[in-house]
A and B are shown apart, each in its own frame.
Chain A
Amino acid sequence: MSVKNTLASFAVALTVFGGIGMAGAAEKAGEHHDKSHVERQNWSFSGLLGSYDKAQLKRGFAVYNEVCSACHGMNLLSWRNLMEEGGPEFTKDELKALIAEKEVPAEPNEEGLTHSDEDGSRLMRAALFTDRMLSPYANKKAAMAANAGALPPDLSVIAKARGIPHVADNSEPSAWYAAPFVGLMEYGSWIVSVAKDVTTQYQEGGADYIYALLTSYAEEAPAGVDVGDRSFNYVFPGNAISMAAPLGTLETGAEADKEANKELHAKSRDVAAYLMWASEPHLNARKSLGLKVLIYLIILSGLMYAVKRTIWAGVKH
């Protein structure tokens, strides 16, 4: 009983003193605190039994194809990947139609030329299934020149290259005496967050971030914030993002177009799922094999334990 009481009072003390420190931090972070928070989404590919939703990947590819691919390439993917198992699984004919108008830089022609004799332009040829999903720009410099100095990143592994932080850093609580409490609270919430990740097999931080990013453009930067030529995005680190809202801005206020908002969310979700697939194309195979391996190993552990018990029965140890 006394142990419990001690623990309880300790917890109360932690909450109270920690609260003082945290409150100071929250004040500093300002009013955008809630909007900058990336929510964890419920994806079809989350969890032990998760797998990609083919229809969603197809819709997501359409968003990429119509919008993102104007500036971004996916250099690690070939068009053929779009018909492979575990992905959007377009049929051969569908894919043929999709890439009918795509062009890639041609190999040197019979005269050994890669550029036109007449105007010096790059010679192109029709894309094949085996061609990579290239960036629309000839090179990095051309890409930066076309985007006011910003380089649109390749999107092949973007969903693995982004994540959401476990616990926000709070290195300067309002008062020095609050630091140990803030620290223990932070450590505690970090442990809780890891435990939560393990129980939910959380690996979708990238998809969550992309979805949040695409739906967190502000119509206007908040008063007093100057982002120059760039756009204001609540979840982007530093808020000033070079990419203008690609799928539109969430409308707020009484006259908001609810249908437009809904479409923005749907498109953002689909393209985030598609980018997750591009990063982890073998996720379906991985998760379905994983389940079999786990079941096998759990049964084997049980059997091994039984054998161990039998061998050790009658031996004091």
Chain B
Amino acid sequence: MGHHESNYEPKWGIAKWFDERLPVARMVSDQFIVFPTPRNLNYWWTMGMVLFFFLIIQLITGIILAMHYIPHADMAFNSVEHIMRDVNWGWLLRNMHSNGASFFFIAVYIHILRGIYYGSYKAPREILWLVGVVIYIMMMAAAFMGYVLPWGQMSFWGATVITNLFSAIPLVGDSITQFLWGAYAVSQPTLNRFYSLHYLVPMLLVAFVFIHVWALHVVGSNNPEGLSVKSSDDTLPFHPYFTMKDMYMSVVFLTIYAFFVFYMSNYMGHPDNFIRANPVVTPAHIVPEWYFLPFYAVLRAIPDKLGGVIAMFGAIMVVAVLPWLDRNPIRSLRYRPKARFFFWLFVIVAMLLGFLGAKPAEGWYVTASRILTAYWFIYFLVIVPLLSKMETTNRRMPGSITDAVLGHHGKISEGAQTASSGH
């Protein structure tokens, strides 16, 4: 994968035999042990490992839950309660899985915002960024279909609202929607296929995570200075430095996660989802899971159905094309004060949109959603490209990562020398 030369030398005969046939140990050594990583990475760079942990948690708990769950419109709700009540440790598995989805999104949002802040999408990392966007969209699909499975009121009506979005497409909209449903409304066939796809999408996601890591290991990590690695002084081997740092942060994340799993298990869900799905009773407010709320607010901000759908998907797509909207050579916003200001404004706007997404679409909530939606698009389509042209130099920028770490030109400490060249 990476550009650096392999320095793996099998010590035993059997290892050598294996290495000549299937160099797995060499790959692990090259990519996850000696892999040169910028020494100045801060804690915002630990989310990759955190996400990996949550992916594993979701897969393991999900596979076990699937052994007890029944994808039938009459039995799904009760089978989930059966898991919560009668399956040994079922309450733990289910709480881990449902809260795991939320924490997956918390980590991925930090990961994405870190990428935007430090310019991790810029050359040569465009493909890495695009693969990341694909993973994010797959996560959304998996999470949405997973939320439908308990077949509560929010499951049913959430599925109805979201699948109906496709009916806005001219000419073929209705056909597509009926194809998704497998019927003329959200019903048994819909639930059954969502279950199948909820199992499939994470498998594809795992494949894309491999591609994401592969793309990362071709170009190497970006870093808070946004400078490219120039010498071996700029880097440290991945193990033990970053394995340890990442694992520490993963445990911190798991602690907060455990707090929710054990003490606030239902907090991030909606009480209405403990009411069995009822096609003839619409809940007072249909609200998606919290991680979709900003996009839901964008959807409802546009008074036209097709327009709303385009805006919602557009809100994600503008993020995907960010590498081509921002061609500024300076990656890190550390050295772009103007862009930094508008970035933080964007973060606040996204959070306010999330708040508005949970509110009924009426009165000033709609007005505010429209203003904030406008900012979302103006930020990506106007502000970012403009600043990309304007803010191209910064005198404070250090010459290299090593310079930035030391604050001046000079030799780095002896321990670090050994560490970076010792393997």
A85 to B270, CA, bound (A): 28
Shortest beta-carbon distance from B180 to chain A in Å: 28
Distance to closest chain B CB from A210 (angstroms): 12
Given contacts A298-B255, A311-B240, contact A198 B248 (CB under 8 A): no
Indicate whether B12 reaches chain A with its CB closer than 8 angstroms: no
Distance, CA A203 to CA B413, complexed state (A)? 52
Which one, A163, A293, A301, A317, contacts B40 given CB within 8 A? A317
Shortest C-beta distance, A288 to chain B (Å), equals: 9
Chain B residues with a Cβ closer than 8 Å to the other chain, count: 53
Interface segment out of the listed A56-64, A94-102, A111-119, A167-175? A167-175
Residues of B within 8 A of A198 (CB): 264
Complex contact A171–B362 (CB within 8 A): yes
**Chain B nearest CB, measured from A240 CB (Å):** 15
Q: What is the chain B residue whose CB lies nearest that of A76?
A: B81
Decide if A187 touches B364 in the complex (CB within 8 Å): no
Contact B368 A179 (CB under 8 A): yes
> Does A24 belong to the interface (CB within 8 Å)?
no
Quick one: CB contact mask for A146-185 with B, threshold 8 Å, 1 for yes? 0000000100110011110000010111001001101100
A300 contacts B262, CB within 8 Å?
no
| Bound CA span A313–B419, Å | 11
Give A260 to B261 CA distance when docked, in angstroms: 41
Binds B, one of A32-40, A228-236, A263-271, A279-287: A279-287
Contact among A169, A202, A301, A316 with B39 in the assembled complex (CB-CB below 8 Å): A316
Number of A-B contacts (CB under 8 A): 133
The answer to whether B258 touches A290, judged by C-beta atoms less than 8 angstroms apart, is yes
Q: Does B303 belong to the interface (CB within 8 Å)?
A: no
How far, in Å, is A205 (CB) from chain B's closest CB? Answer: 7
Q: Return B359 CB to nearest CB of chain A, in Å.
A: 6
Are A161 and B360 in contact, with the CB atoms below 8 A? no
How far is B247's CA from A311's CA once the two chains are assembled, in angstroms? 13
Convert B246-285 into 0s and 1s, putting 1 for each residue whose CB lies closer than 8 angstroms to a CB of A.
Answer: 0110011011001101111111000110110000000010
Asked if residues A307 and B244 are in contact (CB atoms below 8 Å), the reply is yes
Tell me, in angstroms, the Cα distance from A286 to B215 when the chains sit together. Answer: 41
Contact at A293–B258, with CB atoms within 8 Å? yes
Contacts A171-B363, A290-B263, A301-B255 given; indicate if A315 touches B416 (C-beta within 8 A): yes
Contact digits for A173-211, partner B, Cβ 8 Å, 1 yes 0 no: 100100110110001001000000110011101100000
> CA separation between A305 and B412, bound complex, in Å?
24
Q: How many residues of A contact B (CB 8 A)?
A: 55
B370-423 contacts to A, CB under 8 A, are: 405-406, 412-416, 419
Query: A282-B91, A287-B262, A294-B258 in contact; A301/B252 too (CB < 8 A)?
Result: yes
Asked whether B141 is an interface residue with its Cβ less than 8 Å from the other chain, the reply is no
The interface residues of chain A lying within 8 Å CB-to-CB of B85 are: 76, 81, 281-282
Cα–Cα distance between A314 and B40 once the two chains are bound (Å): 14
Evaluate contact between A161 and B272: CB separation under 8 angstroms.
Answer: yes
Q: Is B53 an interface residue (CB 8 A)?
A: no
Cβ contacts under 8 Å, B263 to chain A: 48, 201, 203, 287, 290
Instruction: Determine the distance from Cα of A206 to Cα of B259 in the docked complex, in whole angstroms.
Output: 20
Return the contact of A311 from the options B39, B244, B355 (Cβ within 8 A).
B244
Contact A290 B261 (CB under 8 A): yes
Q: Judging by beta carbons under 8 Å apart, are B364 and A182 in contact?
A: yes
CB pair B251–A187 under 8 Å, yes or no, is no
Q: Are A183 and B406 in contact (CB under 8 A)?
A: no
- Distance of A311 Cα from B248 Cα, bound (Å): 12
Residue contact A171 to B364, C-beta cutoff 8 Å: yes
When C-beta atoms are compared, the residue in chain B nearest to A314 turns out to be B415
Given A198-B264, A281-B85, A308-B245, residue A301 in contact with residue B251 (CB < 8 A): yes
Q: Report the minimal beta-carbon distance from B306 to chain A, rounded to whole angstroms.
A: 25
Tell me the smallest distance from the CB of B70 to a CB of chain A, in Å: 14
Give the residues in chain B near A290, CB-CB below 8 Å: 258-259, 261-263
A289 within 8 A of B: yes
Q: Give 5 pairs: A residue, B residue, CB < 8 Å, sorted on A.
A: A81-B85, A172-B362, A172-B363, A290-B259, A294-B258
- 7 further A-B pairs in the complex, CB-CB below 8 A; given A294-B262, A315-B416: A179-B364, A187-B355, A203-B265, A203-B267, A279-B274, A300-B251, A304-B248
